[in-house]
Structure 1
């Protein structure tokens, strides 16, 4: 590699993920190959269902996508800290397990699965937030399930800390059009369950009996008002001294949302 190429390669390093020298990069990739029971970078590319060129590109840029660590950690039961640094046991509890392609899914307590902890992989500066199957109704509809976790999504830890408590955050999908154009049918919202004190005009996830709504909240004497953004929907007024008072629960404040354009 020429001095010009070395300078260019160094300039590609990103603060979003720990920068690595070429030797460190190769060592990390080798650990990944070992973790999946592979023999080459082609095996690793096949595991991720990407082209081998994507591996080469990561090497040129001097950084490895965090999703690669999280995917191996989850699928193969590998310690993320070990993948990143090579320090510590390869697997949580130093348990012996089969390579990823032959290993059967294991059921273990959440505390034993570092990739499932809300503040997992701190050395990478990322946190994992659980997404639950329950759909928030932005109109009408029923709660599909009581918080069944269907996956984990990586966020920058400092991003989450600016918005609340990462360990108390959860992702849910929204169903209905009553919050359009602020939140559309099918959008995903990030809820901080530690923020339950009502702030006038803020968006919250609210449970009423067996339904969950995402609404703007207002408090008036003796009543809680759930207000939609869509003018076609009338506000829902809950008498806090009535029969439904005990059935109302503030789940948490909506602190962020996202939208997919290809499903």
Structure 2
């Protein structure tokens, strides 16, 4: 079974619990019981039963992050005791957009230098996504800055396909930049076809150029989806 911390984050997400005190109230247990479970690095089995009975939460989703977040019977299952933010009508949970997964989100700020190995990105938090939005090689990041406004707003969540590194002019890519970390730019082949032009969607940022070998070194992957408030 996954470590306590992973399951604990999914439980908090699904119940809108921000603290141990709030979660203890949801589970009808003492806060010290949560601290004990954390110390043992093990989630008690009765938690899963309580969360299913109270909210209809799928134990497999809580344990592994796979399958639908909620379960249903042939007649349909609607959590009756769930808070308004969780209560919903019975629906078909088998399609790919209904199946959820909790993904790690990373900050874009890091110390990058062309002469050094690529840095590791710092964990920014977690996000629940449709299962179909995740695949091998996809990294979720939180947008930093305003260089791609109005297409990408600050604090938006980005899905970056790190396996898609074949540049097609006009698409948006994530790449490392010295003194900045990971940035987003539209990339175009230049007119002489011997280098690339990097453009921001905001007129406040000047375009830059990169030689093919340097672009290949800095390229992280293509931005394939964006979650943001309008």
TM-score when scaled to structure 2?
0.51
Check if 1:171 corresponds to 2:140: yes
Check if 1:230 corresponds to 2:213: no
Q: Matched residues in 1 for 2:183 and 2:65: separation?
A: 36
Equivalence for 1:215: 185
Q: Structure 1 residue 252: deviation in Å?
A: 0.8
Equivalence for 1:139: none
Larger radius of gyration: 1
Equivalence for 1:63: 56
Check if 1:259 corresponds to 2:228: yes
Q: Matched residues in 2 for 1:125 and 1:156: separation?
A: 6
Equivalence for 2:130: 156
Q: Matched residues in 1 for 2:209 and 2:65: separation?
A: 48
Quick one: which of 105, 120, 125 aligns to 1:131?
Answer: 105
Q: Structure 1 residue 149: deviation in Å?
A: 2.9
Q: Structure 2: 5+ residue runs without aligned partners?
A: 1-23, 35-48, 72-95, 111-118
Q: Matched residues in 1 for 2:156 and 2:65: separation?
A: 30
Mapping of residues 97-116 of structure 1, within 5 Å: none
Equivalence for 1:202: 171
Contact 1:135-1:173 at 8 Å conserved across structures:
no
Q: 1:80 to 1:173 in 2, by over 3 A?
A: closer
Q: Structure 1 residue 151: deviation in Å?
A: 3.3
Q: Matched residues in 1 for 2:175 and 2:166: separation?
A: 12
Quick one: which of 191, 205, 221 aligns to 2:160?
Answer: 191
Q: Quote the RMSD (CA, aligned, Å).
A: 4.2
**Equivalenced residues, count:** 152
Equivalence for 1:146: 120
Mapping of residues 74-89 of structure 1, within 5 Å: none
Q: Structure 1: 5+ residue runs without aligned partners?
A: 1-37, 48-54, 74-78, 86-121, 137-144
Contact 1:195-1:253 at 8 Å conserved across structures:
yes
TM-score when scaled to structure 1?
0.46
Which structure has more helix as a fraction of its residues? Answer: 1
